[in-house]
């Protein structure tokens, strides 16, 4: 058995022929030697009666393209691996790169970072998964193996809660970032997609600066100055960074290099009469939420003011933009859903009756964390509450959502960062209102958690004591940076 086959067995378990036996038992009445010429490839199968039975090797009879498409109809990779153990022909088909490419992209959220492949292939410490071959396009089985192994590290958390010291199968690497001289109020992850690097972590602080950290080494690579007050909020996308401050302004920064390791200020958004408490952005608009009870919508390309939203009666603590729809939450517990281009109010949600501290809109679902320690989920179009649960023992200051994997991360003033499985959104139970599952609690923080972020491999926590924490599920034998 080759080393790669050993890795496959370790990841997936040794293949068995149980399902194949049942399959052939069903096929025998249909495919018998009498239906084909004597030269047709045959399979000999030992049934339950311990007698040898022959049937047609139908895959060997098909053109390669049809045979591969037939295997692609199998439910998952376990079935493909079992098929590979039938004979040499099936093994050759079950190892074809085209088949594993089809299997790879069948998984929601799985993407390859082609800009990182050359670096990973030349890294000797990761050759156990990705070895040197003539073409990177022959690596689809290895790509699948590594991405599946990464998901297994995360999904091992589902089913029962763990803390960061007692992982049953895998212990992620935890790194503490130091550099800010005061509380870290916000953080974001730039994955480096398109820049050809492992990406950066960005943070904003009460010390009035923004810092850019190398996510691989934990070193601060640049410091951005310009705000005259605390940097309270931020959002970044493909080399554009927007920050909001207690000085009442939001600033647009653009990357000065292809690596996106440094930024220069491009525009200053002025007009609010109070501090900017949250920002959100899409390809067209930027939204700023303020202590002055208003939200302002700006055109991203020109930084011009589009309109001012004035429907809230209390400071607007949070906002989120998705698909042309905006949601905003205020200190009086009001949640508004409105059209970003016109400001037309679509829905008002007043159920919490407590201060809204953080809000996210994703896939028609509104997530909100509040001062009563709860996280609530609503249907954006109807206003129906989908779920409500106590997430922390103090104010829920920050939440972020990974829609592809149904992970919700929350940070609270109880000094905890928690990871919640939100499978209830993809498979809602019948009857009583569903409850999410606590998958992981990170309790290493020594101060209140003000912001959180998540990507394919990492959870980021920003804290009141001027530190950031990176909890990394990647590396350790896997070229995880090739996965977007």
**Domains present along the chain, CATH in parentheses:** 1-95 (1.20.1280.50), 162-475 (2.130.10.10)
Handedness of CA 238, 186, 311, 332 (dihedral sign): positive
What does the pLDDT read at residue 210?
A: 98
d(CA 167, CA 77): 26
Which of 84-88, 289-293, 308-312, 462-466 comes out lowest in average pLDDT? 84-88
Which of 136-140, 259-263, 385-389 comes out lowest in average pLDDT? 136-140
pLDDT in tens, 247-270: 999 999 999 988 888 999 999 999
pLDDT band with cut points at 50, 70 and 90 for residue 44: low
Minimal CA–CA distance to 187: which of 483, 418, 11, 449?
449
What does the pLDDT read at residue 428?
A: 64
Label the pairing between strands 162-163 and 437-442: parallel
Minimal CA–CA distance to 378: which of 392, 391, 364, 389?
364
At 261, list the tokens. 């390791």
d(CA 440, CA 437): 9
Contact partners, residue 300, CB within 8 Å, separation at least 6: 240, 281, 282, 283, 284, 285, 286
d(CA 16, CA 21): 10
Helix axes 97-105, 77-84, angle to 10 degrees: 160
d(CA 426, CA 408): 13
What does the pLDDT read at residue 306?
A: 97
Minimal CA–CA distance to 144: which of 184, 187, 179, 94?
94
d(CA 9, CA 12): 5
Burial 41-54, CB ≥16 within 10 A → b, else e: eebebeeeeeeeee
Residue 137 has pLDDT above 70, yes or no: no
What does the pLDDT read at residue 42?
A: 65
SS (H, E, C) 357-404: EEEEEECCEEEEEECCCEEEEEECCCCCEEEEEECCCCCEEEEEEECC
Residue 143 has pLDDT above 60, yes or no: yes
Minimal CA–CA distance to 151: which of 126, 169, 130, 175?
169
Label the pairing between strands 335-339 and 345-349: antiparallel
pLDDT in tens, 83-134: 999 889 999 999 999 999 999 999 988 888 877 776 655 553 444 444 444 4
């Amino acid at each position: 058995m080759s080393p790669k086959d050993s890795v496959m067995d370790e990841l997936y378990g040794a293949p068995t022929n149980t399902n194949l036996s049942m399959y052939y038992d069903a096929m025998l009445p249909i495919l018998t030697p009498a239906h084909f010429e004597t030269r047709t490839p045959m399979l000999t199968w030992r049934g339950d009666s311990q007698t040898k039975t022959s049937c047609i090797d139908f895959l060997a009879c098909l053109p390669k393209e049809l045979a591969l498409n037939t295997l692609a109809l199998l439910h998952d990779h376990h079935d493909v691996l079992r098929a590979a153990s039938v004979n040499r022909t099936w093994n050759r088909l079950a190892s074809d790169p085209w088949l594993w490419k089809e299997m790879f992209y069948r998984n929601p959220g799985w993407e390859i970072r082609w800009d990182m492949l050359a670096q990973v292939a030349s890294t000797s410490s990761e050759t156990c998964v990705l070895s040197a071959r003539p073409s990177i396009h022959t690596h689809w089985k290895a790509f699948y193996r590594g991405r599946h192994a990464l998901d297994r590290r995360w999904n091992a958390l589902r089913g029962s809660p763990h803390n960061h010291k007692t992982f049953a199968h895998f212990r992620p690497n935890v790194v503490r970032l130091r550099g800010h001289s005061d509380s870290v109020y916000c953080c974001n992850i730039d994955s480096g997609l398109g820049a050809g690097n492992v990406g950066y972590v960005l943070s904003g602080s009460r010390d009035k600066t923004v810092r850019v950290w190398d996510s691989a080494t934990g070193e601060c690579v640049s410091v951005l100055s310009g705000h005259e007050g605390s940097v309270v909020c931020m959002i970044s996308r493909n080399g554009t960074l927007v920050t909001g401050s207690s000085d009442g302004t939001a600033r647009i920064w653009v990357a000065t290099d292809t690596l996106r390791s440094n930024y220069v200020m491009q525009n200053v958004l002025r007009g609010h009469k109070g501090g900017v408490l949250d920002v959100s952005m899409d390809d067209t608009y930027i939204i700023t939420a303020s202590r002055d009870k208003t939200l302002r919508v700006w055109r991203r390309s020109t930084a011009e003011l589009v309109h001012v939203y004035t429907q809230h009666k209390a400071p607007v603590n949070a906002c989120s933009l998705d698909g042309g729809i905006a949601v905003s939450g205020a200190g009086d517990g009001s949640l508004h859903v409105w059209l970003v281009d016109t400001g037309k109010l679509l829905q008002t949600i007043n159920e919490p009756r407590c201060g809204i501290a953080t809000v996210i809109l994703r896939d028609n679902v509104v997530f909100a964390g509040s001062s009563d320690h709860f996280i609530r989920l609503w249907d954006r179009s109807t206003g129906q509450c989908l779920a409500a649960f106590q997430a922390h023992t103090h104010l829920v200051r920050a939440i972020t959502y990974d829609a592809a994997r149904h992970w919700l991360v929350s940070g609270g003033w109880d000094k905890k960062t928690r990871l919640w499985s939100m499978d209830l959104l993809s498979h809602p139970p019948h009857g009583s209102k569903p409850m999410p599952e606590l998958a992981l609690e990170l309790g290493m923080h020594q101060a209140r958690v003000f912001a959180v972020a998540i990507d394919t491999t990492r959870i980021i926590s920003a804290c009141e004591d001027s530190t950031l924490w990176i909890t990394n599920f990647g590396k350790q034998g896997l070229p995880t940076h090739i996965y977007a």
